[in-house]
Structure 1
């Protein structure tokens, strides 16, 4: 029976999925109206302005004194991948592809995350999980290739799709690094520190690549772009990242990533409703395959988890 305490991480992960699903059309609005690196840096600077005071009020600063050099190195790596890398690829990719399609590509996240979690953390896998992983991967391939999967073998992947695949690589790294370094670290502190690292890296990259004019252009962006940016900063970053880290800590990397199944569906729906984006046949077929595959993956995890729990009780 699921208690109130055990239900909490699941509910927060659903909220995370809603916020991240809505982040795709928001990101598309920003990418079309602001320089991407400048906008990404402003997003995380604003988020840190909330996260650091929140962390201070929660007493998180006192715990930083006991962090080892290895933990700080891990935090830096998480900030460089999950914040700097992901945010950069996110807005650069959305300059080239519709938000709904980009959201479907990230169905590869749980597949790649679980594959590496099996190898690195010995998470369990069975035939059902493997079948779901294969189905999800094939669905993502259909979406990326516009319904012509064989063309991927010939290198026919667009610039936007390649950049969104960069998001996948960064997010998988971020999740697995988070799994490694979260022991003894609360979700809020991890989110605040990695966001601060990412904000500094993004700001430096913006000044080097786009120059001061990039930040000036972002600051003078349209009100629609600024509303989207504020949503990304405070909703899809400050709150959703904390909820995601909490889920990784409570449920494990593979299980928490499974909730990203909801993100592409929400992203496609919001993109169609808010931006009027069309949903073509390859998105419908590939998206359905990808989402079904991740659902099968999560369903297949239940017998393994139950068996492990039984053995622990018996032991």
Structure 2
């Protein structure tokens, strides 16, 4: 009983981190509306990189890896810089609640499919059923039964691309976890992402501070510090105590935060198809992870 009680604070920490990540979606929409995707993308990770350094120092994180680990961090940083741009570009055109739900729900399904097709991961019957439910959830979230290929429009295509990029980043992070401490990995990835996005932001003069209003700065600080540094540290600390097996389930708190905060801030409608698709994706992830790990047919570096 005591062991369960000891984990309560980490369960709470994980929930808080997920809710903040959810609120980051409408907050990101506000920053995109008061600047542009390039500038918002740069400042988000520039702030996260600067503010995570004291956390790394306080936690006495080992700052070491090997050549393969360094390569993983470089690739992840470049991909997240792309994700970061797509995140703000999507929010400048589409709804924050829908984007937060779509990316969070579809990414795990794509990650599983990539693991099976690219890394030849073995799956059992229960996991095949889970993937089938997950694919159906993705179809609902993309509104294919109602709008056909309407998800290819500008509003939704950015979010779909976000989900694809994030699924690849997830696999890279899983591979890198054996070679580098998660917090050091995060530090380097934040730095590479911020630097990459800076080059694309320079034509828009991101360092002219007075050019952007208080709405932009308050929201970018929220995303950079709370959704970036604070929630990331909270996530890794809590995940290390709770266990990776249960971490994926908590990710489905993100759409709740995104949908509710978007409804409150932007008066976005809570669409039934989005809720149904999110619930089905949640069921798929729980079912897929109901047994310990996956046995791999081939180990890939």
TM-score by length of 2: 0.84
How many residues align structurally? 291
List alignment gaps of at least 5 residues for structure 2: 296-301
Match of 1:287 among 252, 268, 275: 275
Partner of 2:25: 24
| 1:244 positional shift | 4.1
Partner of 2:91: 94
- Once the two structures are overlaid, the 10-residue window that deviates more, 3-12 or 88-97, is 3-12
CA deviation map 1:107-147 (0-9, x unaligned): 101111223345538475543x4434333433333333375
Matches of 1:111 and 1:237, distance apart in 2: 24
Partner of 2:226: 235
Q: Is the 8 A contact 2:18 2:253 kept in 1?
A: yes
Partner of 1:138: 136
Q: Is the 8 A contact 1:130 1:297 kept in 2?
A: no
Q: Is the 8 A contact 1:37 1:202 kept in 2?
A: yes
Matches of 2:163 and 2:294, distance apart in 1: 31
Partner of 1:72: 70
Q: Is the 8 A contact 1:12 1:247 kept in 2?
A: yes
List alignment gaps of at least 5 residues for structure 1: 309-315
Q: Is the 8 A contact 1:137 1:290 kept in 2?
A: no
Match of 1:263 among 251, 254, 262: 254
Partner of 1:276: 267
CA deviation map 1:10-50 (0-9, x unaligned): 54432321111111110111111112111111111111111
Q: Is the 8 A contact 2:100 2:259 kept in 1?
A: yes
Q: Is the 8 A contact 1:100 1:264 kept in 2?
A: yes
| 1:296 positional shift | 4.1
| 1:307 positional shift | 11
**Where in structure 2 are the equivalents of 1:104-183 lying within 5 Å?**
104-106=101-103, 107-118=105-116, 120=119, 122=121, 124-127=123-126, 129-145=127-143, 148-149=146-147, 151-152=148-149, 157-183=152-178
Matches of 1:306 and 1:72, distance apart in 2: 26
| 1:56 positional shift | 2.5
**Mapped pair 1:305 → 2:292:** yes
| 1:267 positional shift | 0.7
| 1:219 positional shift | 5.0
Partner of 1:213: 205
* Aligned Cα root-mean-square deviation (Å): 3.0
Q: Is the 8 A contact 1:44 1:196 kept in 2?
A: yes
Q: Is the 8 A contact 2:25 2:97 kept in 1?
A: yes
Matches of 2:257 and 2:155, distance apart in 1: 20
- Once the two structures are overlaid, the 10-residue window that deviates more, 8-17 or 221-230, is 8-17
